[in-house]
Amino acid sequence: MKKIRNVIRNHRVDSQDLASVCVGQVRYAPAKSLWLLGMYAGAAYGVLVYPLLPAMVLFAGATAVVLLFGHSLGSHRKLIHNSFACPKWLEYLLVWLGVQVGLAGPIGLLRQHELRDYAQRQRDCHPYLRHGSGFLGDAWWQLHCELVLEHPPAIRIERRIADDAFYRFLERTWMLQQLPLAILFYLWGGWAFVCWGVCARIAAGVTGHWLIGYFAHNHGELACEVQDAAVQGRNIRWTSLLTMGESWHNNHHAFPHSARLGLADGEWDPGWWALRVLEHFGLVRDLQLPDRIENKNGLDRCRFRPFLVNLWW
């Protein structure tokens, strides 16, 4: 069968045939599962034993910072899609904050994203890769299991990431990267701050990441349809602030390299607002937008429904 090659801006996925993303088994992942269950236990202990307002405020503030600057800006818009430029020290800081979400190391997270993104744009893919096993089934799969494909496509990470000593260090020690914050919070407010600022934050971040992934691929608004794709991204309007703009997933499927995810009037995107503030202070530059060539080239398979997009540039 003719070889299929999908070239992504920074990373490449090579596949021999469609079966490479369809045939495989979902298996229980002990380390992944026990990690999350441990965070649930620590969060529950904090709720029952330390129902303190300062600890709750710490939880809310730390979660917001990690989701905004870590997950949205660091892991997603910078590491994965390289949608803006910034000094190396700031890139490292943002990606380190992304590791604090508790999902995976930077390289592992990048590999997961590239496989899922590639698979969803094929005519079909395994239900694990398209959140297609129902609400409870998908929760079990995504939070406690992993997909083992029989003939997985080769994912080739560009050398600036794969060979970076700091990223390789974070990949090996991503769970241990919670220790600096845990020690700081303990010295600041004892075990209450550790339970709320670390365990509850990770439990909320990982579970929330799955929830948005499930709904953003099964329910919500559809302004652009990627033709012949196994799954469509959906816009989840009511979670735009909670997700720092990441819930505009239909927009993201249409313009994957755009630094701005909320495109129309009323589509609130805190991640984009933060980037504009950083740009004002000269800390970021070259913000990618949907009019860039990288995004236009990705629209050859998109069919837009009646939808007025008012872009701010």
Look at the chain and report how many structural domains it folds into: 1
Q: Which amino acid is at 123?
A: R
Confidence class of residue 254 from pLDDT cuts 50, 70 and 90? confident
Confidence class of residue 297 from pLDDT cuts 50, 70 and 90? very low
* pLDDT confidence of residue 222: 84
Whether 312 is covered by a domain: the verdict is no
- Determine the average pLDDT of the residues in 135-153: 95
Q: Single out the residue of 86, 32, 275 nearest to residue 313, CA to CA.
A: 275
- Is 214 within 8 Å of 295 (Cβ atoms)? no
User: Which residues 6+ apart lie within 8 Å of 34 measured at CB?
Assistant: none
Whether 298 is covered by a domain: the verdict is yes
Could you give the C-alpha distances from 15 to 8, 10, 119, 151, in angstroms and in order? Answer: 13, 17, 10, 9
- Determine the average pLDDT of the residues in 160-184: 97
Whether 1 is covered by a domain: the verdict is no
For the chain, the average pLDDT equals 88
Question: Is pLDDT larger for residue 228 or for residue 218?
Answer: 218
Whether 311 is covered by a domain: the verdict is no
Eight-state DSSP code of residue 132: -
Whether 2 is covered by a domain: the verdict is no
Whether 310 is covered by a domain: the verdict is no
Confidence class of residue 311 from pLDDT cuts 50, 70 and 90? very low
Whether 228 is covered by a domain: the verdict is yes
Q: How far apart are CA 264 and CA 251, in angstroms?
A: 10
Note the pTM of the prediction, 2 decimals: 0.88
Whether 4 is covered by a domain: the verdict is no
Confidence class of residue 310 from pLDDT cuts 50, 70 and 90? very low
User: Which residues 6+ apart lie within 8 Å of 274 measured at CB?
Assistant: 68, 69, 73, 244
Q: Single out the residue of 153, 68, 69 nearest to residue 111, CA to CA.
A: 153
Confidence class of residue 9 from pLDDT cuts 50, 70 and 90? very low
The domain of 283 spans 13-304
Confidence class of residue 309 from pLDDT cuts 50, 70 and 90? very low
